[in-house]
């Protein structure tokens, strides 16, 4: 599929998805959200892909936010629908994807941009990154999961302060808060994320998928995370990857996982 607002490159089992609206600082509009849904759906089914890295084009911004011009005149009903569709098709979709998604946060990640990064399984930031949720300055609140995911990552107090003051934080502060795992020079950002992705690719794909689901279950009030873990753990005993992993360990060799 050809995308107008995304660039996709696949190499060594790693897909690099780049939001490509540099003149708009990669702001999220309706078309871009639709393309993200389609791209992640396709990559999840692609057997040649084990890990996905998500980043923004240019050096200024990962995603500077939502395209405000698109919804400035929305009614309450339209606003509700905007948030609901975004959750379902993009943000929750990425969070629950069966393959790991790493956010490579280069430059500004504001509003919907930070929410997009938080939907990924973990984040790496360039040293010039700035992050924040400025929605209250527009008379809104974060509508793509920001009020839920930010407290999970940084704690309630810091999340409240960031959301209510609409203050941007630096990459260093984001790492201190636990919002990002690593901070690296911008010129090394993608290479660093690829290194993490390569480490993931060495492990059993089915186990990686089950681990994502088990960790996510802890944050889903409709699920018992411990039960999810127990069931996933047991289910993995019937996989070819478990047999290969244990055999390789006993034979003192590297495992050759096939993802089944």
CA dihedral defined by 48, 205, 15, 173, rounded to 10 degrees?
A: 180
Task: Report the DSSP beta bridge partners of residue 8.
Answer: 17
Residues 182 and 215 in one domain: no
- pLDDT computed for residue 73 by the predictor: 92
Residue 181 lies in a domain: yes
Residues 84 and 167 in one domain: yes
Residues 93 and 212 in one domain: no
- pLDDT computed for residue 66 by the predictor: 87
Residue 260 lies in a domain: no
Residues 187 and 211 in one domain: no
Residues 113 and 225 in one domain: no
Beta strand 14-19 with 6-11 is antiparallel
- pLDDT computed for residue 67 by the predictor: 85
Active site residues: 115, 135
Last residue of a domain, one of 160, 180, 201: 201
Query: Biggest alpha carbon distance in the chain?
Result: 65
Residue 257 lies in a domain: no
Q: Which helix (H) or strand (E) holds 11?
A: strand 6-11
In this prediction the pTM is 0.96
Residues 143 and 227 in one domain: no
Residue 218 lies in a domain: yes
Residues 61 and 79 in one domain: yes
User: Domain count of the chain?
Assistant: 2
Residue 255 lies in a domain: no
Could you tell me the residue range of the domain that residue 123 belongs to? 6-201
Which regions in the chain score pLDDT beneath 70? Answer: none
3-state secondary structure of 5: coil
Residues 169 and 41 in one domain: yes
Residue 129 lies in a domain: yes
> Residue 20's domain is classified under what CATH number?
3.90.226.10
Residue 39 lies in a domain: yes
Residues 18 and 139 in one domain: yes
Alpha helices in the chain (DSSP H): 30-45, 68-71, 76-86, 92-95, 112-119, 146-154, 156-165, 171-177, 189-201, 205-217, 225-236, 240-250
């Amino acid at each position: 599929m050809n995308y107008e607002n995304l660039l996709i490159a696949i190499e060594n089992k790693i897909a690099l998805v780049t939001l490509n609206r540099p003149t708009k600082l990669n702001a999220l509009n309706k078309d871009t959200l639709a393309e993200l849904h389609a791209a992640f759906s396709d990559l999840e089914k692609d057997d040649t892909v084990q890990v996905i890295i998500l980043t923004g084009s240019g050096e200024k911004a990962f995603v500077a936010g939502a395209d405000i011009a698109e919804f400035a005149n929305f009614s309450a009903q339209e606003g509700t629908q905007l948030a609901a569709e975004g959750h379902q098709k993009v943000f929750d979709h990425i969070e629950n994807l069966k393959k790991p998604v790493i956010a490579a946060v280069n430059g500004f990640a504001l509003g919907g941009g930070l929410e997009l990064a938080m939907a990924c399984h973990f984040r790496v930031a360039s040293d010039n990154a700035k992050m924040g949720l400025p929605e209250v300055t527009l008379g809104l609140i974060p509508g793509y999961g920001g009020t839920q995911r930010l407290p999970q990552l940084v704690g309630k107090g810091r999340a409240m302060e960031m959301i209510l003051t609409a203050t941007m934080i630096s990459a260093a502060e984001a790492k201190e808060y636990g919002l990002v795992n690593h901070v690296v020079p911008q010129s090394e950002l993608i290479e660093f994320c690829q290194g993490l992705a390569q480490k993931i690719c060495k492990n059993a794909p089915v186990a990686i998928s089950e681990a994502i689901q088990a960790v996510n279950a802890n944050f889903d009030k409709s699920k018992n995370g411990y039960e999810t873990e127990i069931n996933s753990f047991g289910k993995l005993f019937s996989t070819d990857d478990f047999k290969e992993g244990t055999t390789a360990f006993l034979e003192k060799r590297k495992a050759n996982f096939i993802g089944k």
